[in-house]
Amino acid sequence: MTSRKPALAVVGATGAAGAVMLRILSQRADVWGEIRLLAPPSATGGGRGGPVCPEPLAGPGPVLRGVETEVLALDEETLRGVDVAVFLAPEEVAARWAPIAAAQGTVVIDASPAFRADPDVPLVVPEVNPHAARLRPRGIIASPGCTTLALIVAVGALHAEFGLDELVVSAYQAASGAGQAGVDALRGQLAAVAGTGLGTAPGDVRRAVGDDAGPFAAPLALNVVPWSGALEEDGWSSEELRVRAEARRILDLPALRVAATCVHVPVVTAHSVVVHARFERAVTVARAHEILATSPGVVLYDDPAAGDFPTPADVVGTDPTWVGRVRRHPDDERALEFFACGDNLRKGAALNTAQIAEAVAAELAAGRGTRP
């Protein structure tokens, strides 16, 4: 006796993360029956930028498993009959449509910030807290932001062994973290400064780029910009506070001390993070290496003597979190420092939602309920 494979909807299929999702669905095990590609009506006219980019793709329709596939407009009818819906769309789209889909009995996995702080919506990273996805009172599961996902799989593995006490993070965010508008801005700025002698006098890069820095607070070419998000209390940015809140929820450590600094860097795709993690027990590099080398979703690449450590240019397009430069703090036997990189459009957006969706598909196939 065979059972029907669950139907999947990809909301935001025409965006950058949506395109990555279609590649992931074509590469991974075939657990889905019908796959329905949906886009908010505004996507047909351009839409607003954001971490998961609703901009339409030029040319023919997107290719799914080798077949050019029609993209349907998102509405109640196109959501009907869907078992699982992954939302790779802007926050306002998810805030409106995810509850509508859930009310129809669809399990929603949302990659936007719309529900990440909702106590009735689990925030899930399958390598760290897969059990949390099973209890979803609203029928919605949230996926964390791409900056959190660049570090949390590695941090979670170390926490399970040593017990995390404090986390200090410096995040170096790629331009694609600001959507297609960020990528376009960086490429335009690089074109403006290429082949010049700029970067040697105050303000020369800013003058060459002009008044429009795109979604960034300052020119990104030949520069780094220590700001991401909106201004919050005491000078913190919304992106920095999200890393704090998301790490606490995923690790189930509501009082964890977390401080993050987010910096945009002139990289197209793949976020990097410098992590200072202090634990409840003494740590060693050798044991940290063992844990990281055997943790799902992590690749340990750490031999500085041979020039082996991750960089965003080398890990872009790959799924894991890559970790290197692992060191014990010279003045604290309970603290580790390390450097990590991850593709912010793969694990940082599409892959994490795909992994959650596959877990839900297995749950549905086993006949377990989806709501308490």
With beta carbons less than 8 A apart as the criterion, state whether 37 and 10 touch: yes
Q: Which of 228, 219, 226 is nearest to 146 (CA)?
A: 228
**Rounded to 5 degrees, what angle do the CA atoms 171, 120, 140 make?**
80
Annotated active-site residue 146? The verdict is yes
Q: What is the DSSP letter of 74?
A: P
Catalytic residue, chosen from 53, 159, 262, 271, is 271
With beta carbons less than 8 A apart as the criterion, state whether 90 and 117 touch: no
**Which two tokens mark 133?**
């996805």
Annotated active-site residue 329? The verdict is no
Q: Cα–Cα distance between 148 and 154 in angstroms, integer?
A: 11
- Residue 348 contacts by C-beta under 8 Å, 6 or more apart in sequence? 145, 146, 147, 149, 150, 177, 271, 342
Catalytic residue, chosen from 146, 262, 264, 341, is 146
Q: Which helix (H) or strand (E) segment is 360 a member of?
A: helix 351-365
SS (H, E, C) 196-262: CCCCCCCCHHHHHHCCCCCCCCCCCCCCCECCCCCECHHHCEHHHHHHHHHHHHHHCCCCCEEEEEE
**Which two tokens mark 303?**
């031999």
Q: Cα–Cα distance between 148 and 125 in angstroms, integer?
A: 10
Catalytic residues: 146, 271
